[in-house]
Structure formats: structure tokens, C-alpha cells
Structure 1
Amino acid sequence: MTGSDPARSTPRGVRSAQVRTDVILEPDDAQRLANLNGPFDAHLRQIELRLGIEIRNRGNRYQLVGGPRDVSAAEAVINRLFNQTLDDTVTTEHVHLALAEQGAGENSGEDAASAGFHDEVVIRTKRGVVRGRSPQQKAYLKAIASHDLNFGVGPAGTGKTYLAVASAVQALERDRVRRLVLVRPAVEAGEKLGFLPGDMAEKINPYLRPLYDALYEMLGFEKVARLVEKSVIEVAPLAFMRGRTLNESFVILDEAQNTSVEQMKMFLTRIGFGSVAVVTGDLTQIDLPRHQVSGLKHALSVLHGVPGISFTHFRKEDVVRHPLVQAIVHAYEEYERREPPATSR
């Protein structure tokens, strides 16, 4: 239940052109309301800081004061989190994700409309449901479902790899593909492979760990082990793809910013009939030698405008990890804007 009227005064720290909206949550359950508010109203303060609004609370009545769009976003977030208190404990992470899914504080309306994100793609696996949280994530899932080759490019924490793996698992479970092939370039990021213990397979395995982690979360450790043993799932370094043709497969190339131009061309020409390929990467984290051009950066230029290929570009607003990650990405973007690198790759 809500009601609104223009604010008579401007609360400190709140933007101009404000409205005042009352939100009444039912039932008036003290335990659920305390869960929603968080310790010492920490969750309400988190919403205030993110949206630049003021929240006044007494019992089950919440008064929201701020810009019309921000107040509307806060109302949606509060109602969503209150529904969640019915069977879950609300955490700061839940608040952050609810704000991100709402597109809180960002001018994402046009992007969302152009991406058609209202036609939401929901990934259902045997271990749970995965859905896009930001408009770009929803557009990304929709693109993967409708294109044979997809590029997901953007900063860390935007769900590029996780959503691609979720799409791959669903395709496998629905018999749309016969196997999953997850690939990463084994590029040294300041460390030398030769100093790692073990044989070549053991040296490379740490580079593939993020892909295994996503598979374990969605399928469980034992099932992943069985499928790997049967070669239904293959997790391998990029170099092992040379000379192969991958039919009826869901292929993911992760950390693609660390491929050379030749490696990227080699990978893209492995795609066979009935296959789907997703290429993910972050152009701000290239570990190649400074004189070497990133295969991902080169491919984005070469393939732009080619029919049948989708390109999803994530921004810092799409980060769904700890809120501090978003601030770190923004800080690096600002620094690089002021101090451009000496050598462009």
C-alpha cells in the first residue's frame, strides 16, 4: 500500500524535485521487519546511500523521500526484500543484488528497453534457478539463447562466465547439445608456469579452476566428475583446441582478452554444426606482453556488424559481487582515463 505527494522540504543530502511516498508492509510482523531493516537499520541505510534518498521508518510504515525514479526503485526493492523475509534471512548481499536487479540509480531504462529484457530468460538447472539481475545480464542470456556466437565483454564480477556456464548446463540437460567444452588460455600473469609443481596438466589446472567452480555449483562435484570422466564435459587450455571441429557442443572461451589474434581466429574456426560458442573477457585485464595485440580486442573490431553474432558490453553498474568491487572498477576506470597507458594493445 503506497501514497505519494511532493515533499514540502528538501531533506539533507537528498536531490531536488522530490516526492514523498508511504509504503505499508503487511502483515505487520516484527521479526520479518527486523530482518528487512537489518542490524541497526543497516539495510535501509544501504538503500539510502545507493539511491540518494531518505527512508523514515516506524513499525511497518516506511516513508521514502527523494527523486521520483529513485523513490520508485526503493519501493520496489523494499517490497522485494520483504517478500524474501518470508523464508530467508536478508543480508547486505541480498540488498545489493536487489538494487542491481532494479537498475538502481542508473539510467538503464533505454538499454533495458532496447535489449527487450522484459522477455526474461530464466536458466533452470537441477541445482536451482539462475536469472539475469541487471538489464545487460538479461540481454546477455537472451542473446546466448538466440545466437550461435556470443561475446560478453566487461569488468570482473558482472557474471559473464557464470551466466555462460549456466546457459551451457541448461543446454546439456535439455539435450540441445551433447557436450560442454570450457576453454581458457594459460597465460602467465606475472608468475612463471615452470616454477609451479607437477606435470603440465597440474601446472595448467589452476587456470581452469573458475570454470570448475561454476560447474560444481550448478551440477554438484560428483556429477561433474562423472561427466568429465565420460568426456561429456571437457575443461581444457586453449592450445588443446587446435585442429579440432566441435559439433553439437556448447563451447565457452573464458579470459579471451589473453588470447593472441592467431589463437582467437583458431578458436572461432573450431565451431561446428549445432554448436553454440560464448567468448568472455575483460579488456582492462590483459596479461599479454605489451607488444602483443589482444585477440579479443582484435575480434571485436573485425567481427563488428557480422550477422548472427551478438555482442554484450557490461559496465561497472552490472557488477553483482561485493559493492566494493563496483567502486574498485570505477576507480580504475577513472585512473586510466586520466593516465592512459603508454602502449595500447
Structure 2
Amino acid sequence: MSETRLDVDPLGSSNRSIHFESSEHMVKALGAQDEVLRLIESEFSDVNLHVRGNELSISGPPAAVDRTERLLEEIRTLAANDTRVSPEVVAQLLRMLSEQSVARPAEVLTLNILSSRGRTIRPKTLNQKNYVDAIDNNTVVFGIGPAGTGKTYLAMAKAVQALQHKEVNRIILTRPAVEAGERLGFLPGTLSDKIDPYLRPLYDALHDMMDPDSIPRLMAAGTIEVAPLAYMRGRTLNDAFIILDEAQNTTPEQMKMFLTRLGFGSKMVVTGDVTQIDLPGGTSSGLKIVSEILQGVDDVNFSMLEASDVVRHRLVSDIVTAYGRWDDERRKPSTARRRRTEQES
């Protein structure tokens, strides 16, 4: 059993010792060649860390020692749950602890959704966990946020989990083929050739989560269906987990059409990024206005993800934030012009 020992010397410096239950547990927590330990030392430069056997001692100013100990407790919990403690995970823990967004960050990062092909899919931020919980607790969920926040990937993982647990009989994945205006006839090749480029991201996610050899068989049997949004019209989808991806590229009419396909025993997840709308100029996005229409409707949830939830390369979060600032600056002059016009009239 891991233990923590606390001592306070007369000069006001705290000294604490954390005992790990085994050397293997300690290596998992502190990283190969102590990479995690070195990262903690660089983050808390006023704290001294010393390793002896299976014991890690912490000394320094009480407040800094408290923060270091709390971080190490979360790291120790992750290691005990066989979660790889990488520098990226430590950075995420530090952010969650500094924001005080959740009492125990390790509980967020050890929530397993799906294990497949030697890897486990989990939420990596508090907002992602809230999104996953919303999918569990609601029939219709909207996951709205920038690229790389796991909107579609986590929804796909929940769909595969629901299928494996026999909560649904099939998975239906759909996207609007907006670049071709849902009119695919002028593109070369067969129908499959024409729509595959738009649906490829959904296929890629499926291959991450399931045995690739089983996917053609499941698709042939209708257990998994991947189709453009136009193919949903006129259908009632019962006992299915239905995901609409890239929903910012739906018109209000298409969004209404899709939502009204919901049948008994089904669950819907709608994902999109309202900052990446590819619709022709002047066309309203169905995803932008649906929150106004359905706000307050029981069993419908809107989960908002942010740049801080991006789980791709760290630069992606910085890029999303930079574009957000740029968009805000562009809006300011147009808002000012509109106000002047309203005042003059």
C-alpha cells in the first residue's frame, strides 16, 4: 500500500515522504529514466525531490510541497490503474489542478470507455468526461467544439461500446457531403467512390476501435451503416446509435430532418464545430440555430468543448485559440458599424 508521511521542521519547511508499493509502481509513476520526475522538478523549482528505494521525499515551502504532493497523488493513482503517465498527461493534470476544475483529475483520466487492439479509449479532460456522461444520460446529445477535442472519436467509442453491450442493434454514421452540395452525380466513379472521401474520417475511427476484418462483414449485414446525410430522409431509425458528424454543414432543414429520424430505443449524437462552416454564403448552419430551438427540451443535452480540450498535438490548441482571437477582432469593427447604423436610423 502506498503511504505518505508528513513532517514540519521548526523553520517552516515541510518534509513529506511518499512510499510506493513496489519499484514497478514507482517506475510507472515517475517515468522511464525519471522523465516525469524531472518534469515535476522543473515545474516546482522551489521543492526538493529525492528518491531512495521505493520512497520519494519532498521538501520545501509548505504551499509548494502541498501542490507537489497533490500532483504526485494523482500520478500515483494513474500508475496504479495502468495508465501511462506521459509528459502530456502530467501537463493535463497540472492544468486541471491549477483550474480546480475537478477534485480528483485521475478519476477523469481513468474512465475507460473502450479497450481495443491493445489500447484504451478514455476522456482526457473534464469537459470530455462531462460529454461522455451526457451521452450516457441523454437520448440526444450535441457535442460542439473545435477540431481535435474528441467530439466524434468519443461518440464513436460510445457507439461501439453500446453495440458490444447489446444496448443497440446497429450503428449509423452520417455526414453531410457539403462540398458536393449533396449532389454527387457529377463526380467520377461509382456511388461508393463518390461518397467515400466524405465518410473516410468515420471509417478511420471505426478501424481504430474494431477488428478491421469484422467491419466489412458488419457493414454487409447492416449492423454498421456509413452514409451521407441525404440518405437519412424518410427513414425511422430504431434500436440504433446514430452519429451525425460535421453538423455545422447542415442547413436548418437538414438538421430538422435528421433529428426527426429518431426511433424507439435509439440514441443520437450530433457533433460539429461552428467556426468551420463550409456552407455557401448566406446559408444558415443548422447546428448554430438548433441550440436556440431545443434549449430546455428534456433529454437533449448540449456539451461544449473548448480549445483547452484539444488532445492532438499541443500546437493545435494554440492554433484554435489564435484563430478565435482573430475572429473576435474581425467581429468588433462590424459590430461597431452595425451599432452606428442603428443609432443613425
Aligned in 2, Cα 1:34/1:267: closer, same or farther, shift over 3 Å? closer
Identity among equivalent pairs (%): 43
How far residue 67 of structure 1 moved from its aligned partner, in angstroms, is 5.7
| 2:177 maps to 1:186 | yes
Establish whether residue 333 from structure 1 lines up as the match of residue 324 from structure 2: yes
1:321 is paired with a residue whose SS is coil
Specify the SS of the correspondent of 2:99: coil
Structure 1 pair 274/121, CA: closer, same or farther in 2 (3 Å)? farther
Stretches of structure 1 lacking an aligned partner (at least 5 in a row): 10-18
Deviations 1:238-258 (A, max 9, x none): 111111111111100011111
Residues 92, 204 of structure 1: alpha-carbon distance in 2 compared, 3 angstrom cutoff: farther
The answer on whether the counterparts of 1:44 and 1:55 sit within 8 Å (CA) in structure 2 is: no
SS in 2 for 1:141: helix
Instruction: Give the number of the structure whose alpha-carbon radius of gyration is greater.
Output: 2
> 1 CA distance for matches of 2:318 and 2:57?
28
What's 2:30 paired with? Answer: 36
For each residue in 1:158-186, what CA deviation from the matched residue of structure 2 results, as whole angstroms up to 9, or x when unmatched?
A: 22111111111111112211111011111
Does the alignment pair 1:76 with 2:73? yes
The alpha carbon displacement at 1:337 in A equals 2.5
Q: Specify the code of the residue in structure 2 equivalent to 1:76.
A: E
More helix by share: 2
**Counterpart position of 1:253:** 244
Q: Supply the distance in 2 between the matched residues of 1:168 and 1:69 (Cα, whole angstroms).
A: 41
What CA distance in whole angstroms lies between the structure 2 residues aligned with 1:340 and 1:209? 34
Corresponding residue of 1:123: 113
1:152 and 1:79 map into 2 onto residues whose CA distance is: 31
Supply the distance in 1 between the matched residues of 2:132 and 2:83 (Cα, whole angstroms).
26
Aligned residues: 322
Partner of 1:58: 50
What is the deviation of 1:55? 5.3
User: Contact 2:242/2:269 (CA < 8 Å) preserved in 1?
Assistant: yes
Secondary structure of the equivalent of 1:252? strand
Q: Distance in 2 between matches of 1:195 and 1:5?
A: 77
Give the AA of the match of 1:226. R
- Change in 2 beyond 3 A, CA 1:67/1:56: closer
The letter for the 2-side match of 1:74 is: L
The correspondence for 2:208, drawn from 202, 217, 237, is 217
Aligned counterpart, 1:15:
none
Counterpart Cα distance in 2 of 1:158 and 1:48? 29
User: Once superposed, what is the RMSD of the aligned Cα atoms?
Assistant: 3.9
Cα 1:59–1:172 shift into 2, 3 Å: same
Which of these residues, 289, 301, 304, is aligned with residue 310 of structure 1?
301
Q: CA deviation at 1:330?
A: 2.1
Instruction: Please give the alpha-carbon distance, in whole angstroms, between the structure 2 residues aligned to 1:206 and 1:342.
Output: 38
Q: What CA deviation, in whole Å up to 9, does each residue of 1:314-341 have, x standing for no partner?
A: 1222222222222222222222232328
